[in-house]
Amino acid sequence: MRIRRLRSRTIRTSILALTFFSAVNLFAQSKPVDTVVFVNGEQLTGELERANSDGITFKSPMAGEITVKWANIKDLKSTKSFAIITKKEKLTRRDAVAMVPQGAVVADTKDVTIGGKQIPIADTSLIVPAADFDKAIHHQPDLFHGWGGVASAGATLVRATQDSTTFTGAIALTRATPTVDWLPPHDRTSIAYNQTYGTTSQSGTPTVKTNIFHANAERDEYFSSRLFAFGSATYDHNFSQGLNLQQAYGGGIGFTVLKSAKTELDFKGDMQYQQESFSPTAPATPSVSLVGSTFSETYIRHLPHNITFNEFGSYTPSYNITADYSAHVNGTLVFPVYKGFGFNVSAVDDYLNNAPVGSNQNSSQFSTGLTYTIKPR
């Protein structure tokens, strides 16, 4: 009896072990294994993630994610399906599927072959997984996806003869479709908000308050890869200048002067309606309605070591009250520290020509704080 039970347990254990190892073996066989052979004869297995004219991004269990230049690759093979985009092709959603080769990858130092088509490495712009290519062509992100940008926050506390507390915060988000840069742009939506709030107090003296915020939203619709029309709304408040609220609504034309992987420079001009209201404490300054324009430029530069520089400047003249004009400029340097976190150094300057009597026309801010980069999903 005891022998039968022992045999039964042995059989069950053997069946479970056989099932487990069969499943592991099946999983290992079902997962494609890519190989890259270097010019020095060394070989690495893993998964090809993407590539461009400079080199490939390859992920290996042993080496992790690495970037290898084509000059160091003797042979590359991937059974996973990829799509290759060349530098000379001007793609649209309608013709991209017909024009772009897709299939397994075989490559060496000079050429890459995908879907039976051989293309010189020098003519290659991008090699992406076929699934990502299909998603970019056939699937539009909904309203809540595709947003990317930067959020930052900072604080300063001083406790001495004078007690000073200052908080700064900002967020800037952009959503563009399509989500890839190898298709011509269709539209772009951006929203931004930044604020500085602080108080300085001392025994026996009135508390001094600082409260400045700037908010804007914009929607761009592209006629071509560089020319676009836009509508925008802007809101400003500056307690120290007596400005309760400056709101502007308008629309116009923009043009992308420079655009590359590292740099983008846009110029825009519009016609707008503007309403200004001042604090009740401002001496005899009524609310005013203005018809004018805003001429602005936006500059983005990706510097070495993943440092990013963002700059925006605008000038807003008024046509019905020519003395009532304003200007705004801000610049931010973002330094990466760990994953999406970093720190920033920012400067903001506002000029209000018709500031109430007793208030400065110019207002400047300098701040630094913690930054988190939000990647589009």
Q: What is the pLDDT of residue 28?
A: 45
Cα–Cα distance measured from residue 254 to residue 297, given in angstroms and rounded to the nearest whole number: 9
Q: How far is CA 311 from the centre of its chain?
A: 14
Cα–Cα distance measured from residue 276 to residue 235, given in angstroms and rounded to the nearest whole number: 10
Q: Which residues pair with 149 in a beta bridge?
A: 173, 374
Q: Which residues of the chain register pLDDT less than 50?
A: 1-2, 6, 18, 20-24, 26-30, 284
Domains in the chain (CATH in brackets) are 32-138 (no CATH), 147-374 (2.40.160.40)
Q: What is the pLDDT of residue 31?
A: 55
Q: What is the pLDDT of residue 94?
A: 81
Q: What is the pLDDT of residue 249?
A: 96
Q: What is the pLDDT of residue 138?
A: 83
Q: Which residues pair with 303 in a beta bridge?
A: none
pTM of the prediction?
A: 0.77
Q: What is the pLDDT of residue 29?
A: 46
Cα–Cα distance measured from residue 192 to residue 17, given in angstroms and rounded to the nearest whole number: 58
Q: What is the pLDDT of residue 282?
A: 55
Q: What is the pLDDT of residue 161?
A: 85
Q: What is the pLDDT of residue 81?
A: 93
Q: What is the pLDDT of residue 5?
A: 53
